[in-house]
Amino acid sequence: MRLVRYGRPGKEKPGLIDEEGKLRDLSGVIADVDAAVLAPKSLRKLEKIPHASLPLVRGNPRFGVPVARVGKFICIGLNYADHAAESGQPVPKEPIVFMKAISALNGPDDAIMLPQGSKKTDWEVELGVIIGTRAQYVSEADALKYVAGYTVVNDVSEREYQLERGGQWDKGKGCDTFGPVGPWLVTSEDLYDVQDLDLYLDVNGKRMQTGNTATMIFSVAQIVSYLSKFMTLEPGDVIATGTPPGVGMGRKPQRYLKKGDTLRLGIAGLGEQQAEVIAWTAKK
């Protein structure tokens, strides 16, 4: 099942993408795609609704972040060995954990805004994990039972802020619009193997990143279990699981985003994002 939130920013309605790829309205069934809906029992109830009975949505509305009221936006760094190598970093012995600000959340096709004075804004296509059940100290064997579904994340990063401004990665990760998520949430049972998904990212039509989740250093199950030992994971929390090689910082010469660039990125079975890079403007 592919769940979405569509409409103007702040006014999104819940919906789903049916078997024919058509957008159906869910607002007569649920108020939003939120923590209550992500519980296993609630998802099973939604799955049983005949999708053809739901109203069709006409046109091509904007998609928002597929989960409402995200509580935590957690990220894992250097989780692909070849990305660690291109970054000049050793392969981590334990997951590297940092946070993106909730205010960085962005619709999958919304514009990405360069921060004031930005010189090194970079791209990172990542598998996103959406928690469905409260998790504390869960085992690796049980960890995937706590996942509601998966999505596409672009962990946009300002490398100067991240690496040259006194430490703490968060400064280069949490700028406004630096967290595009979506287009949809694909529920867990609709993915055969989350550790065998192709990822890709293009800049201005040129392929920059190609990878597969099979080469992650720490699997989704390992990540969820690990994080649950340090913080309570709540329904609706989003985890970005790391990026494959091909980021701008790792290229020779280095290549960073500038106004007018376009991004196209996606993950097999999880949909695609397309965004334009714009100059900074005050967020309304």
pLDDT of residue 250: 92
Residue 84 lies in a domain: yes
- Identify the bridge partners of residue 97 per DSSP, sorted by sequence position: 76
Can you give the CATH number for the domain in which 82 is found? Answer: 3.90.850.10
| 37 within some domain | no
With CA atoms as reference, report the closest residue to 277 among 109, 151, 160, 73.
109
pLDDT at 50: 94
pLDDT for the residue numbered 284: 63
Please tell me the predicted confidence (pLDDT) of residue 283. 67
Question: Is residue 147 situated within a structural domain?
Answer: yes
E strand or H helix that includes residue 83: helix 81-86
Range of the domain at 167: 69-278
Q: What whole-number distance in Å separates Cα of residue 169 and Cα of residue 176?
A: 15
Domain count, the chain: 1
> Does residue 167 come out as left (phi exceeding 0), alpha (psi in the -120 to 50 range) or beta?
left
- Sign of the Cα torsion 86, 105, 108, 70 reads positive
DSSP state of 251: S
Residue numbers of the chain with a pLDDT score lower than 70 = 283-284
Predicted TM-score (pTM) above 0.75: yes
CA gap 186, 183 in Å, rounded: 10
pLDDT of residue 13: 98
- 111 within some domain: yes
Q: What is the pLDDT of residues 231-263, one digit of tens each?
A: 999 999 999 999 999 999 999 999 999 999 999
Residue 226 lies in a domain: yes
Phi, psi dihedral angles at 266 (to 5 degrees): -170, 175
Confirm whether 36 is domain-assigned: no
Whether 58 is covered by a domain: the verdict is no
The answer to whether position 247 is within a domain reads yes
